[in-house]
């Protein structure tokens, strides 16, 4: 649907019936913010003669028609902005114009209950004319009357249109264009869906606000109550100041849907009452933490920020600049792999698990949300602290709907193993990138364990996991060096009768095994095989999440390639299954010093000091590939800045990460004037080293929504001849929220722009 040009509108007369808050605002918005009318003329009618006179005086309309039929005759587009209750009378008045009073006109309304407005049309006109498009702007206010109108009332508000099967598509397009002109976002749904949604999101809250204020107002000490009522009362009850007659009508008109949501709410309220009475703190915390998470999510959605939502309508762009001097000591956010596992194992444990240093990135938040959906009480995260109220191995409950795991492969694969062993069915979904990632690697071994994980999409998400199936212990030889697959099998193995063992073809991260031990579980590791007996109890513990070496890697490369750098990365996790980046950079001649080594909660940590160095190209030993699997995008940047050739082989896994990290990096490098040679399982990069500075041209690259690609090119900018613009960076928040802010602390310059696509 395309909007009309201003030229088109100027040929038309807009007629607004009902000049209260909504009708008046339609007039003012249509008149244009700068006073120049966008319409040929705007006329109005209101049942109240005084309102008619005031509307003209206030400049809402040029003039008022003496009756509804006369307005209908004159106008081309008619907006019936009268209360739902008055609709029948307005329509009956139009009958004097003949059987089809709206022929050749386009008509819409603004009523809050669509089924009853439709019934009014059917009763008055014997059916719904094709040129009538029912609609509802979600832009009320507790103010009403002819003085309440505002030209910008609808800006950035939603308008729901509810066209019927016979509604004329051109009429829908015109009414949609009118609302767009007034600044609104237009969407469509059925009449029934609209009435159900509004019953819960608007009508029920109004009912509760009216009821609460009334309950308090009739108490003896009401004056005191109101005098001392704090901000919470004021915020919560603002809508009790709304027009009583209008709301009285709405409740009676939307009776069925309102009663349904009231019934649901009453049950939940009763449950809270019982929880308070019996001192059931678990139940109270469960409701409150879930509600807080949902409200926070709602807040970020309203602010158009990317928490668990598809980033289709907005683009986050980084513009990174060259830098020569980098210095300072920083601590990057918590390890993503360990953060995920702290929630999963904490939920399965008995008792309260406390976590600090938790990564508040969207991937780990998606895991938290999934467990909340399965009935686990999780407090936080609050400045990296999380409290997980474990429910025990058999305490998870079926989620009310599919579990949405955003961009996170780790969440989906580990949860597949865990959920395959539950007494309920589950569905796992994810964003566009996750929906393309291979899941057969977990479907197959879990199938061998008698689990049923199904994909209708050639082994890709969504995954349907059947519960209530006994899980068999197996020995599994991992065909790919994947810690996610190993962990999925081990988590399912927790529920099996007997010993599950996994053989890894090369060393891969072992956080699951280490953390299980921290929870009191016996997990044996003998060379490449780890074993675990099913049925073991997990006991809650404290987890200190180290800084993520995969995030620190960006600054290790940044400091290595910058002309003058001395950067210290604090409290970094240096588990030997993760230190491939350190080993590879050292082989390339980087100056990395590891100090303050310690062990926290079974995981080694250290500070890493990095200074500028003359890197040289190497053949990356294949054995190091799994130990640095997430660090290759930024290692490619290091290779470009090295002297000589770097060759990566045995890294085909990179092609099935959040993007095809080999191809997407090579494409981006080319945009910056740097040609590389892509191979099926790696890349060859002829470094430019010190012989060419800048190494990269200024330019513009597409990260394909892959966080690690976006951050790698931000690092490349250090050695570019001018700014590097990186598109689709919103997913940086999956693993490294505030990457630009932390980068700025050592002297990197990354500007963020948030633009409409």
Ligand X SMILES: C=C(OP(=O)(O)O)C(=O)O
Ligand Y SMILES: O=C(O)C1=C[C@@H](OP(=O)(O)O)[C@@H](O)[C@H](O)C1
Q: Give the residues lining the site for ligand Y (CB under 6 A).
A: 337, 410, 482-484, 487, 509, 629-630, 653
Is 266 annotated to bind ligand? no
Distance CA 290, CA 294 (A): 6
Tell me if 38 is assigned to a ligand binding site. no
* Minimum distance, C-beta of residue 745 to ligand Y, in the bound complex (Å): 24
Q: Give which of ligand X, ligand Y, none residue 509 binds (C-beta under 5 to 8 Å, depending on kind).
A: ligand Y
Name the closest residue to ligand X (Cβ).
409
Residue 413 known to bind ligand: no
Provide the angle, in degrees to the nearest 10, between the axes of the packed helices 483-493 and 440-448: 30
Residues of this chain that bind ligand X (CB under 6 A):
336, 363, 408-410, 630, 657-658, 708, 735
3-state secondary structure of 599: strand
Rounded least distance, CB 556 to ligand Y, Å: 17
Residue among 511 and 708 whose Cβ is closer to ligand X: 708
Residue 483 interacts with, from ligand X, ligand Y, none (CB under 5-8 Å by kind) = ligand Y
Q: Residue 184 Cβ, how far from ligand Y at the closest point, in Å?
A: 41
Min dist. Cβ of residue 482 to ligand Y (A): 3
698 known member of a binding site: no
Question: Which C-beta is closer to ligand X: that of 209 or that of 701?
Answer: 701
Query: Residue 534 in 3-state DSSP?
Result: coil
Residue 309 binds what, of ligand X, ligand Y, none (CB under 5 to 8 Å, by partner type)? none
Q: How far apart are CA 128 and CA 112, in angstroms?
A: 18
Residue 708 binding target from ligand Y, ligand X, none, CB below 5 to 8 Å by type: ligand X
Q: Assign residue 644 a region: left if phi > 0, alpha if psi is -120 to 50, beta otherwise? A: left
Other CB atoms within a 10 A radius of the CB of residue 123 amount to 12
**Residue 482 is assigned to a ligand binding site:** yes
Looking at beta carbons, which residue is closest to ligand Y?
337
In the complex with ligand X, the residue whose CB is nearer, 258 or 490, is 490
Task: Pick the closer one to ligand Y by CB: 116 or 337.
Answer: 337
Q: 75 or 624: whose CB is closer to ligand X?
A: 624
Neighbours of 51 (CB within 10 A): 23
DSSP string, 156-204: T-EEEE---TTS-HHHHHHHHHHHHHTTPEEEE--HHHHHHHHIIIIIH
Coil, strand or helix at 216: helix
Contact 594, 607 (CB under 8 A): yes
Query: Annotation-wise, does 661 bind a ligand?
Result: yes
Of the two residues 261 and 550, which places its CB atom closer to ligand Y in the complex?
550
> What's the min distance (Å) between Cβ of 431 and ligand X?
10
Q: How many CB atoms lie within 10 A of CB 428?
A: 25
CB of 285 to ligand Y, least distance (A): 28
Asked if residue 362 lies in contact with residue 407, where contact means CB atoms within 8 angstroms, the answer is yes
487 binds, among ligand Y, ligand X, none (CB under 5 to 8 A by kind): ligand Y
Provide the token pair at 139.
Answer: 């832009």
| Minimum gap (Å) between residue 342 Cβ and ligand X | 15
Residue 324, classed as helix, strand or coil, is coil
357 contact choice in ligand Y, ligand X, none (CB below 5 to 8 Å, kind-dependent): none
Q: Is 630 marked active-site?
A: yes
Is 79 buried (19+), middle (13-18) or exposed (0-12) by CB count in 10 A?
A: buried
CA atoms of 575 and 627, how far apart (whole Å): 10
Q: Establish whether 409 is an annotated binding residue.
A: yes
Q: Which does 579 bind (CB under 5 to 8 A by kind): ligand X, ligand Y, none?
A: none
Nearer to ligand X, 133 or 442 (CB): 442
CA-derived radius of gyration, the chain: 31
Where b means 16+ CB within 10 Å and e means fewer, 321-340 reads bbbeebeeeebbbbbbbbbb
341 is in an annotated binding site: yes
Catalytic residue among 46, 431, 630, 706: 630
Binding residues: 336-337, 341, 409, 437, 482, 484, 630, 657, 661, 708
Active site residues: 630
Binding residues for phosphoenolpyruvate: 336, 409, 437, 484, 661, 708
């Amino acid at each position: 649907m395309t909007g009309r040009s201003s030229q088109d509108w100027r040929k038309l007369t807009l007629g607004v019936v009902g000049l209260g808050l909504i009708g008046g605002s339609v007039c003012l918005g249509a008149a244009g913010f700068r006073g120049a009318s966008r319409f040929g003329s705007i006329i109005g009618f209101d049942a109240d003669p005084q309102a008619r006179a005031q509307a003209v005086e206030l400049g809402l309309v040029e003039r008022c028609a003496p009756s509804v039929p006369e307005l209908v005759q004159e106008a081309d587009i008619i907006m019936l902005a009268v209360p739902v209750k008055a609709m029948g009378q307005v329509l009956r008045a139009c009958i004097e114009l003949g059987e089809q009073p709206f022929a050749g006109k386009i008509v819409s309304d603004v009523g809050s209950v669509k089924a009853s407005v439709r019934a009014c049309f059917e009763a008055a006109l014997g059916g719904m004319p094709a040129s009538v498009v029912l609609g509802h702007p979600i832009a009320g206010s507790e103010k009403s009357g002819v003085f309440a109108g505002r030209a910008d009332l609808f800006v950035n508000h939603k308008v729901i249109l509810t066209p019927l099967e016979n509604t004329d598509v051109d009429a829908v397009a015109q009414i949609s264009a009118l609302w767009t002109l007034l600044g609104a976002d237009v969407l469509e749904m059925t009449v029934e869906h609209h009435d159900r949604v509004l019953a819960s999101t608007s009508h029920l809250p109004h009912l509760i606000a009216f009821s609460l204020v009334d309950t308090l107002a009739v108490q003896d000490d009401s004056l005191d109550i109101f005098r001392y009522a704090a901000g919470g009362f004021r915020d919560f009850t603002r809508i009790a100041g709304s027009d009583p007659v209008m709301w009285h009508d709405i409740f009676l008109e939307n009776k069925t849907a309102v009663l349904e949501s009231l019934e649901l709410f009453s049950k939940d309220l009763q449950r809270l009452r019982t929880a308070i009475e019996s001192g059931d703190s678990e139940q109270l915390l469960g409701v409150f933490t879930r509600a807080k998470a949902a409200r926070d999510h709602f807040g970020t959605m309203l602010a158009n920020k990317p928490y668990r939502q598809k980033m289709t309508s907005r683009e986050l762009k980084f513009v990174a600049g060259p830098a020569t001097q980098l210095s300072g000591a920083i601590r990057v956010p918590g390890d993503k792999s360990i953060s995920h596992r702290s929630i999963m194992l904490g939920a399965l444990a008995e008792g309260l698990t406390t976590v600090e240093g938790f990564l508040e990135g969207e991937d780990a938040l998606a895991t938290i949300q999934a467990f909340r959906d399965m009935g686990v009480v999780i407090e936080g995260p609050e400045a990296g602290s999380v409290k997980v109220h474990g429910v025990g191995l058999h305490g998870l409950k079926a989620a009310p709907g599919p579990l949405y795991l955003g961009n996170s492969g780790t969440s989906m694969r580990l949860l597949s193993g865990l959920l395959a062993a539950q007494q309920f069915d589950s569905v796992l979904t994810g964003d566009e990138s996750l929906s393309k990632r291979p899941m057969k690697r977990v479907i197959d071994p879990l199938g061998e364990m008698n689990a049923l994980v199904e994909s209708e999409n050639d082994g890709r998400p969504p995954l349907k996991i059947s519960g209530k199936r006994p899980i068999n212990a197996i020995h599994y030889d991992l065909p790919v060096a994947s810690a996610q697959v190993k962990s999925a099998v081990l988590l399912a193995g927790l529920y099996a009768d007997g010993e599950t063992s996994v053989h890894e073809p090369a060393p891969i991260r072992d956080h699951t095994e280490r953390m299980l031990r921290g929870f009191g579980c016996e997990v044996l590791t003998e060379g490449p095989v780890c074993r675990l007996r099913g049925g073991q109890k997990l006991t809650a513990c404290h987890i200190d999440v180290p800084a993520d070496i995969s995030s620190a890697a960006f600054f290790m490369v940044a400091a290595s390639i910058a002309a003058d750098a001395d950067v210290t990365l604090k409290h970094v996790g240096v588990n030997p299954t993760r230190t491939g980046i350190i080993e590879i950079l050292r082989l390339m001649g980087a100056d990395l010093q590891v100090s303050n080594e310690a062990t926290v909660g079974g995981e080694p940590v250290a500070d890493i000091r990095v200074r500028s160095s003359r890197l040289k190209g190497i053949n990356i030993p294949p054995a190091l590939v799994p130990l640095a699997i997430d660090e290759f995008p930024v290692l490619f940047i290091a290779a470009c800045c090295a002297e000589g050739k770097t060759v990566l082989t045995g890294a085909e896994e990179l092609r099935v990460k959040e993007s095809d990290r080999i191809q997407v990096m090579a494409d981006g490098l080319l945009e910056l004037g740097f040609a590389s040679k892509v191979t099926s399982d790696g890349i060859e990069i002829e470094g430019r080293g010190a012989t060419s500075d800048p190494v990269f041209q200024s330019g513009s690259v597409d990260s394909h929504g892959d966080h690690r690609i976006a951050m790698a090119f931000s690092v490349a900018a250090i050695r570019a001849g001018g700014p590097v613009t990186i598109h689709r960076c919103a997913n940086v928040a999956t693993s490294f929220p505030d990457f630009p802010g932390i980068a700025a602390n050592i002297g990197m310059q990354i500007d963020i722009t948030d633009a409409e696509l």
